[in-house]
Amino acid sequence: MKAVIQRVSQASVTVNNHCIAKINTGLLILIGIEDEDNQEDINWLSKKIVNLRIFNDENGVMNKSLVDADGDAIIVSQFTLHASTKKGNRPSYIKASKPNTAIPIYKSFISKFESELGKKVQTGEFGADMKVSLLNDGPVTIIIDTKDKK
């Protein structure tokens, strides 16, 4: 699994001109899923993201996690995170899982993330044409690939 984590002051997801998710302080998390991803990847990544100390403490130092900051989260599935641009100018998405594999992993990740965070998170709509809006705070943007965890 690949994740792009963005610390935000606000973020929202709109589908067909209807806002389906909206948060203030928290994280916008884009998730890319491959066929090889499994429960170990879900467990490791959800725990890693929830506990990343990327929110400022009272001294302005990034020393607080999402839990410590009492922040919210939006999780959005984004197959384009697995784009290969090695050949030509048209990206290949061959490594991205098809919906029948990706949807259960995506739902499992959301569930595990919510249990790690201790509260409900908002989500995008899998497979939809989404408009994602955010105000990146910092800016703080972190990329994590579970294939690089060891």
Domain residues for the domain of 44 are 2-148
pLDDT at position 149: 79
Indicate the SS3 state at residue 117. Answer: helix
Is the pLDDT at 145 greater than 90? The verdict is yes
For CA atoms 41, 145, 78, 138, give the dihedral sign.
positive
20 HSE (CA, 13 A, CB side) = 17
Residue 54 confidence class, pLDDT cut points 50, 70, 90: very high
User: Structural domain tally of the chain?
Assistant: 1
For CA atoms 93, 45, 24, 125, give the dihedral sign.
positive
At 82-95, the pLDDT tens digits run 999 999 899 999 89
In this prediction, residues 136-147 reach a mean pLDDT of 96
Indicate the SS3 state at residue 8. Answer: strand
Which one of the listed residues 25, 80, 101, 141 is annotated catalytic? 80
In this prediction, residues 51-70 reach a mean pLDDT of 97
Taking 3-state DSSP, the helix, strand and coil percentages for the chain, each rounded to the nearest 5, stand at 25, 40, 35
Q: Which residue has the tokens 């899923």?
A: 33
Task: Find out whether 122 and 74 touch, Cβ atoms under 8 Å.
Answer: yes
pLDDT at position 31: 98
Indicate the SS3 state at residue 106. Answer: helix
pLDDT at position 21: 98
Known active-site residue 80: yes
Element (H, E) at 105: helix 99-117
**Mean pLDDT (the chain, rounded):** 96
**pTM of the complete model beyond 0.85:** yes
At 29-49, the pLDDT tens digits run 999 999 999 999 999 999 999
CATH number for the domain spanning 127: value is: 3.50.80.10
